[in-house]
Amino acid sequence: MTDKDTGAEQTPADQAARGKVTPADDLVTTQHSITVKRRKLNYTTTTGRVVLRKEVLTDGKFDGHLAKAEVFLTSYTLDGADAGKRPVTFAFNGGPGSSSVWLHLGLLGPRRVVSGDVGELAPPPYDLVDNPETLLAHSDLVFIDPVSTGFSRAVQGEKPGEFHGFQGDVESVGEVIRLWTSRHGRWMSPKFLAGESYGTTRAAALAEHLQVRYGMYLNGLMLISSVLDFGTLDFSEGNDLPYSLFLPTYAAIAHYHGLHGDRSLSDVLADAEDFASRDYPWALARGHRLSEEERASAVARYAALTGLSEDYVDRVNLRVEHVRFFTELLRSRRRVVGRLDSRFTGADVDYGRELFSEDPSYSAIMGPYTAALNHYLRADLGYENDLPYEILSRTVHPWSYKEFEGTHVTVANKLSSAMRANPDLKVHVAYGHYDGATPYYAAEHVLAHLNIPAELHENIESAYYPAGHMMYVHEPSRVQQSKDLAAFVESAK
């Protein structure tokens, strides 16, 4: 760290002399119980901020550990369990800029928010109930909020921007995992990572980072609403790949909103995947070499699959960007559909817009999760902090991808490397058919191209749900997903 007056490198002693507050962990521990399948589980909850420190060298000499950030976490450990055999799952959401509230109170934790679902949203002030499907029945849980999300912050005098990027994020979250594992004597425990959305990007990178940096080998990854290669999602000029990979999701959304008559979803998806894998990418690749007849045929089939008009598909040159789709699909009904969960629809300021003004699916669940988390931490877990709990922080942007300068962002190579080095690493991938942010067919595409031996593809399992990005908002999906994740942990530990 540099002294702002002299420009000289500061040491921990220099900081102390300047009156800098020395941060310290502020963890709070409480005891709880929950009944799961007639079995009473007693567990300990620890919540609060842990201080991350960096080893400092001055003129080549070790000069102590400099505090860099305070990272908020909530852990749940089963009382009386054998630490050597008891699995532990480290969980986080994505964004970048999201706290872990969604997986924490939506799916994995011992308490969950009642938010309601499409057509029956819960009104404020909402409710918080026991979650008998909690993964705590099978694994201890540690929910991590990356720096600038939740109550996590850089310490006084440090730059938050150091953590607002791919590598800084991986290193800081990885250090939290190392610290918790060491302090709780869990190096011999089966270890899992659970990430959602950008959290899957983080999880795949962490699998390699933890192996290479700390020699920590994992048992499994739970990738929920996966994005491992941003090239599959980047609707930029010259990159036609996303248009093909989003098509089956568009078809699923059209089916949900009644635009495929009495056809089954499986039949629609099979048709869409066939077109998206062969004739459609061929038509895009032909460009102006496509004959009028070939173009008309491609336009007609695309329109039939997606529920859009042939005129619209033709006007956008057979390339429908995803937010344009959400805005256009139900324009005649004067509704827009959600991006995170396209089962949701909402009103907009007008219906001549090119892009919707907000995502109705995010608007529907933001309030319940925010209220529940702020109540839960203070009233049930006894943690007090006057900082705002950042559910989804905008301050992390622009997020730095400097490590990928000149190319697109991908961690598929890192996941491949981790699996080759650790052939026992298992991967569970969860897809929502109505997820318009991280479409299932794009994730399938990336996994099919992992650079791993053929036999290691058997380490990857998939689960599909009739819901969106946070598929657990849909109650039947939440119950089934909880069973699927429990089975995965039991099989991979």
How much is the pLDDT for 9? 47
Q: Has residue 19 got a pLDDT over 70? A: no
CB 234 within 8 A of CB 438: no
DSSP string for residues in 307-351: S--HHHHHHTTT---HHHHHHHTTGGGT-EE-SS-TT-EE--S-S
Stretch 268-290: mean pLDDT: 97
Q: How confident is the model over 26-60, as pLDDT tens digits?
A: 999 999 999 999 999 999 999 999 999 988 888 88
- Kindly give the interhelix angle for 279-286 and 241-256, rounded to the nearest 10 degrees: 130
Band the pLDDT of 20: cuts 50, 70, 90.
low
Burial class (CB in 10 A: 0-12, 13-18, 19+), 189: buried
CB 11 within 8 A of CB 63: yes
Stretch 482-488: mean pLDDT: 98
Q: How confident is the model over 337-380, as pLDDT tens digits?
A: 999 999 999 999 999 999 999 999 999 999 999 999 999 999 99
Structure tokens given for 332: 């005649």
Q: How confident is the model over 408-447, as pLDDT tens digits?
A: 999 999 999 999 999 999 999 999 999 999 999 999 999 9
| Burial annotation 39-77 (CB, 10 A radius, 16+ → b, else e) | eebebebbbbbbbbbbebeeeeeebeebbbbbbbbbbbb
Q: Has residue 4 got a pLDDT over 70? A: no
Q: How confident is the model over 169-196, as pLDDT tens digits?
A: 999 999 999 999 999 999 999 999 999 9
How much is the pLDDT for 21? 73
Q: How many helical (H) and strand (E) elements, i.e. helices and strands, does the chain have?
A: 14, 16
Band the pLDDT of 152: cuts 50, 70, 90.
very high
What 3-state DSSP class applies to 275? helix
How much is the pLDDT for 11? 53
Q: Has residue 3 got a pLDDT over 50? A: no
Q: How confident is the model over 86-134, as pLDDT tens digits?
A: 999 999 999 999 999 999 999 999 999 999 999 999 999 999 999 999 9
CB 404 within 8 A of CB 231: no
The distance in angstroms from the start CA to the end CA of the chain is: 42
Band the pLDDT of 5: cuts 50, 70, 90.
very low
Cβ-proximal residues to 98 (8 Å cutoff; 6+ apart), any chain: 149, 197, 198, 199, 391, 392, 393
Q: Which amino acid is at 370?
A: T
